[in-house]
Amino acid sequence: MGIMIASLHHASFTVEDLGRSIPFYRDVLGLELEGIWERDQEYSENITGIKDARVKVAYFKLGNAFLELVQYLGGKGNKIDSSTNNTGSAHVCFLVDDFTFFTENLRKNGVVFAGKICDGPGETYKGRKILYIEDPDNNTLELISSV
């Protein structure tokens, strides 16, 4: 038996300002904030391998994992072009129960839709709606209707 990954613990995005990102994820998307923690410089440098790194993190509870937002207070890098067609870009995908209500609420809150609402492809997603949106740092989030 080989090495096996048991499950996904969390996905993560680096953000410029937790003070701006937390309200988006908590109040607009409705995610439950688990907590906010600042990591000391020694730990931050050791875990990231980045000189002078010092991070502050926010964790949001999801049904089966967490979403982590990371703000670099020290050792801050540069803004990258996170467009989904760039190698190395990433996105997370959320299942949404009431897709129409949810996306209308996003519109009311001025959320950037990266593309159009589409019908799901193939048999697996037949009858479902799918949409890419962007968070305040242009990180891509995918939404799929749960039914």
Q: How far apart are CA 63 and CA 80, in angstroms?
A: 30
Looking at residue 69, its amino acid is: L
Using CB atoms within 10 Å of the CB of residue 54, give its burial: 0 to 12 exposed, 13 to 18 middle, 19+ buried.
Answer: buried
- Upper half-sphere CA count for residue 53 (Cβ side, 13 Å): 18
In the chain, how many domains are there?
A: 2
Evaluate whether residue 113 is within a structural domain: yes
Residue 21: inside a domain: yes
98 shares a domain with 70: no
Q: Which of 74, 101, 124 is the last residue of a domain?
A: 74
Say whether 141 sits in a helix, a strand or coil.
Answer: strand
- Is 80 part of any domain? no
Verify that 57 and 97 share a domain, yes or no: no
- pTM for the full predicted model: 0.92
Inside any domain, residue 1:
no
Among 26, 47, 74, the domain boundary falls at 74
Question: 20, 44, 74 — which closes off a domain?
Answer: 74
Residue 83 covered by a domain: no
Distance from C-alpha of 120 to C-alpha of 43, rounded to nearest angstrom: 43
Q: Are 17 and 62 part of one and the same domain?
A: yes
Q: What is the CATH number of the domain that holds 61?
A: 3.10.180.10
Give the three-state DSSP class for 89. Answer: coil
Nearest to 18, CA basis, from 39, 42, 49, 43: 39
Q: pLDDT 10s per residue in the chain (147 long)? A: 678 998 999 999 999 999 999 999 999 999 999 999 999 999 999 999 999 999 999 999 998 899 999 999 999 999 999 999 999 999 999 999 999 999 999 999 999 999 999 999 989 899 999 999 999 999 999 999 998
Expressed as residue numbers, the domain containing 141 is: 91-145
The bridge status of strand 66-74 relative to strand 54-61 is antiparallel
